[in-house]
Amino acid sequence: MGVTEQWDIVSVIQEGRKGLAGRQVPSPLQKCALSLMFRFCQRKGVPRDLSAFQAAAAYIAARHPLSYPNRVPRETYADDFAVRGASLEWYLKQILATLDFKEIRDDEHYPYYIDPLGVIWRMTQALVEAEVIEAITGSLTGQSAKAREEIIAEITHKIVAKVNAVPVDLAVPFKDLIAALVDAEMAKARPYVRLCRVLAR
């Protein structure tokens, strides 16, 4: 990335700060939204519709799981930033896909977003990796090992009930994310389990 492109990104962030502050977005959410904007621009370059881009980033920042229950629709952000709903929706999808955000929904189908670089997801990944490795190594050495369902339930309980990083009302959809992580980690270890069984014959 050349100096010109870097300066364009700087301008986007500076304009974003003005735009978010002008619409009275709370300071903590401003910081989060600006971080998302910066990370996106580094990967995809400068967006064409800055207002819609700002609105989408602000919407994502406001929908952290701990904001539950958050019933503010995206149309409110489109109105506040004076942009078309379709434009906000387009940038919303672009940011979420590019930055690999995780999504869970409440019982009224409102979305909440988990930053893959945030504390919640990194803690979840660390717990899953540790628990799965312990279970796999136990299995490889002929010791008792936790079952998949037990691992998923224990990690969900730790993050929801002990750490309080995700509200109880979002525990079920969050548990589905954990299950997918556990399955992915177990898939990595499956060849070793198969080899161990072959050698044991």
Instruction: Give the pLDDT confidence score for residue 191 in this predicted structure.
Output: 78
Contacts of 118 (CB under 8 A, 6+ apart): none
Closest C-alpha to 91, from 111, 79, 74: 74
pTM, full prediction = 0.91
Alpha carbon distance 14, 44 (integer Å): 18
Written as tens digits, the pLDDT of the chain (201 aa) is 676 788 899 999 999 999 998 888 899 999 999 999 999 999 999 999 999 999 999 999 999 999 999 999 999 999 999 999 999 999 999 999 999 999 999 999 999 999 999 999 999 999 999 999 998 888 788 787 788 999 999 999 999 999 999 999 999 999 999 999 999 998 987 776 666 664 444
Instruction: Give the pLDDT confidence score for residue 201 in this predicted structure.
Output: 47
Contacts of 120 (CB under 8 A, 6+ apart): 65, 114, 159, 165, 166
DSSP per position, 40-105: HHHHH---S-HHHHHHHHHHHHHT-GGG-S----HHHHHHHTT--HHHHHHHHHHHHHHTT-EEEE
Note whether 131 and 139 are within 8 A (CB).
no
